[in-house]
Amino acid sequence: MLILYSYWRSSAAYRVRIALNLKGLAYRQVPVHLVRDGGQQHSADYRALNPQELVPLLVDEEAGGVRIAQSLAILEYLDEVFPVPSLLPGEPELRAQVRALAMHVACDIHPLNNLRVLQYLSAELGVAEEAKNAWYRHWVERGLAAVEEGLAAFGGRLSLGQRPGYLEACLIPQLYNARRFGCELSGFPRLLALEDRCLALDAFKAAAPEAQPDAAL
């Protein structure tokens, strides 16, 4: 059994849910509320599982209870342990292009809108709410502009031709986050077209934040 420690609105956990669904893998979710009780990710019990104090965390009980933190590491693990259907293209050059765009989302854009970063801006630096949101929008829109250009290499196709994978698992949650903070997305037609195709699929519908069991908690 795969166990996913998750939070409904975490875009990193959202990535993993998409990947698990694309592979048709059964898993059990354990909610970790990132705000309640000062952030349940900081509790002693969770810290014992994941010293990084972040979600997601994947536990593979069939592999002796191995614990894997960090969403991209989880996606790579899933593709190696459960290779069919794959999340990455078979050709090295296409695989590198997919990873480059996905990492731009996960490593360059996402960290700036991570909850702990935004909380630090408000609580420690005294940045006003609107100024914080403007800061967020600046970096997200700038990052997404680069992804928009990078998608030109795919010629209107999904990253695996007719099906989504690693790239889309990273990109769709970031677009969800961007909308939460009022980012201007109309200038990114490739991104929006890709998003429309993905959101029509059951794997993405089931992974959506509002569809998670802890969304109403």
Summarised one tens digit per residue, pLDDT across range 1-60 is: 999 999 999 999 999 999 999 999 999 999 999 989 989 999 999 999 999 999 999 999
Weakest mean pLDDT among 40-49, 109-118, 207-216: 109-118
The per-residue pLDDT for 1 is 95
Count of other CB atoms within 10 angstroms of residue 13: 29
- What is the pTM (predicted TM-score) of this model? 0.93
pLDDT, mean over the chain: 93
Task: Identify the three-state secondary structure at position 215.
Answer: coil
CATH classification code of 92-203: 1.20.1050.10
In this model, does residue 128 exceed pLDDT 90? no
Cβ atoms of residues 22 and 204 within 8 Å: no
Q: Sort strands 2-6 and 57-60 into parallel, antiparallel or unpaired.
A: antiparallel
Return phi, psi of residue 50, to 5°.
Answer: -140, 95
In tens, the pLDDT along 151-202 reads: 999 999 999 999 999 999 999 999 999 998 899 999 999 999 999 999 999 9
Give the Cα separation of 40 and 36 in Å (integer): 6
So where are the chain's domains? 2-85, 92-203
Alpha helices (H) in 69-128, listed in sequence order? 71-81, 92-103, 115-123
The per-residue pLDDT for 7 is 96
Give the Cα separation of 185 and 187 in Å (integer): 5
Instruction: Tell me yes or no: is domain 2-85 CATH 3.40.30.10.
Output: yes
Strand-pairing partners, residue 161, are 158
In this model, does residue 135 exceed pLDDT 90? no
CA angle 155, 12, 102 (to 5 degrees): 25
SS3 content of the chain, % helix, strand, coil (to 5): 60, 10, 30
Residues 6+ apart with CB under 8 A from 74: 16, 19, 56, 58, 68
